[in-house]
Amino acid sequence: MKWLDLPFAKNAQGTVQLPGSKSISNRILLLAALAEGATEIHDLLASDDTARMLDALTRLGVPITHTGNNDYTITGGEGVFPVKDADLFLGNAGTAFRPLVAVLSLMHGHYRLSGVPRMHERPIADLVDALRQLGADIKYLSNPGFPPVEIKPAALRDQTDTQTVTVKGDVSSQFLTGLLMALPLSEKKSIINVSGTLISQPYIELTLAQMQHFGVQVEHSGWQQFIIPVQQKYRSPGHIFVEGDASSASYFLAAGAIGHGPVRVQGVGRDSTQGDIRFAAALELMGADIAMGENWLEASNKEKSLRAIDLDCNHIPDAAMTLAVTALFAEGTSTLRNIASWRLKETDRLAAMSTELRKLGAIVEEGADYLRITPPVHGLTPYAAIDTYDDHRMAMCFALASLGAPVRINDPDCVAKTFPDYFEKFSQIIHSEMK
């Protein structure tokens, strides 16, 4: 196994250009492929998750031209993919797997979708149940409720001129995202009812914002019902730029807060539609100084230490992992609540986080849907070897421990899922002498 030893770092300071947002990149790729007209996409994230989406769309016959570094032109098929029979491998990319299942169920084709073993443990039943209400023909190829799946051409139920579907919202918001992106393809009026409390709500706002860029409006008041008015089609906006990734920003902002800073991230700013920019507000609650501009965020901290927090993190499930490691540098016990969905992601993140934080000397209480973290009294345990469970965020957030003690990160290459050059960028802002 490979590992990376990070030496003890006294402070963090500098500026980082962020990679493109994973959530925006994969939404835009799919919408551009379904739209009328060609879309020039700039600053797309280059990572495993987007490579899986690009590969799937290519196999589906979508014309994609790589025009420059992170720039692509996609010629949309006006709601149709040319290839009607395909095997698609989607790695561990939830933002590719879930929306593609929804879209392909309405494509009158024959498709088989699979992923890495962990993807086959991540649930998809709520989405399949919703699509079956519309008449979709989807079969589980291994364990019921989980990928891999096979989609066959189906005579979709003709529910007059309005189709109504109910989807559960309390396991993953990506099921609702998939339905929202797929249903305009029918050109009927669609009503989506959400049962259970919708989690990870800002990702739905992000979906609606991207759909709007492609000309489709969704009506909703509150988060329990969404109405897609009749006869809307995706139309290319011409050019589109991908913002920097707000979840990736969290590691650098936390470094600025722990290691005094200032650390600035460029590529995402105060008006972003990405929910994870609210990580900055959480850092502020911990005592960090936050500054923001149109296209940048900055964190610094003149105080010696941070304050503990008690926060409902349902709106920032990914960046909340960064808070868990930041809590090691706070005075007192921090509680991160309402994060049950952590158990269903790249690994069981509640279990993994508890185990690895304990290696650094923290006292951790792992609840069904919360984590309570008390940092060690006399500093972090040096030379801990942190396991990363093939979870990019485990590797990225535990790099912050090097601001308290030397630390080893096992299997650091797992960051390729969303941020392949993370450790190069991290080393640029970390300094062993006070600056």
Name the one residue in this structure whose structure tokens are 């942190």. 386
* 200: nearest Cα among 182, 175, 181: 175
DSSP state of 199: P
Q: Is 94 in the site for ligand PEP (CB under 6 A)?
A: yes
Identify which of residues 81 and 203 has a Cβ nearer to ligand PEP in the complex: 203
Q: Is 417 annotated as a binding residue?
A: yes
Written as six digits, the tokens of 417 are: 């899922």
**Is 122 a known ligand-binding residue?**
yes
Cβ pair 375, 329 in contact under 8 A: yes
146-164: b or e for each residue (b if 16 or more CB lie within 10 Å)? bbbbebeebebeebeeebe
Task: Considering the complex, state which of residue 92 and residue 314 has its C-beta at the smaller distance from ligand PEP.
Answer: 92
* b/e burial code for range 199-231 (CB count within 10 A of at least 16 → b): bbbbbbebbbebbebbbbebeeeeeeebbbeee
Stretch that binds ligand PEP, among 87-95, 222-230, 258-266, 381-389 (CB under 6 A): 87-95
Residue 177 found at the interface with ligand PEP (CB under 6 A): no
Q: Which is catalytic among the residues 318, 387, 391, 411?
A: 318
Residue 349 annotated as lining a ligand binding site: yes
Active site residue 318: yes
Residue 341, binding choice from ligand PEP, ligand S3P, none, Cβ under 5 to 8 Å by partner class: ligand S3P
Residue of 39, 50, 95, 207 interacting with ligand PEP (CB under 6 A):
95
Rg (CA), the chain: 22
CA 313 to CA 201: how far, in whole Å? 11
Residue 25 contacts ligand PEP per CB under 6 A: no
What would the two tokens of residue 255 be?
Answer: 């470094």
Does position 52 interact with ligand PEP (CB under 6 A)? The reply is no
Q: Which of 24, 29, 57, 93 binds ligand PEP (CB under 6 A)?
A: 93
**Residue 203 interacting entry, from ligand S3P, ligand PEP, none, C-beta within 5 to 8 Å by type:** ligand S3P
Crossing angle for the helix pair 174-182 and 94-105, to the nearest 10 degrees: 40
Residue nearest to ligand PEP (CB): 94
Q: In terms of CB distance, is 172 or 190 closer to ligand S3P?
A: 172
Q: What tokens were used for 13?
A: 């300071």
List Cα–Cα distances, 180 to 57, 95, 191, in angstroms: 19, 13, 10
Active site residues: 318
Residues forming the site for ligand PEP (CB under 6 A): 92-95, 318, 345, 393, 418
| Residues in the annotated binding site for phosphoenolpyruvate | 22, 94, 122, 174, 349, 393, 417
| Residues in the annotated binding site for 3-phosphoshikimate | 22-23, 27, 172-174, 200, 318, 345
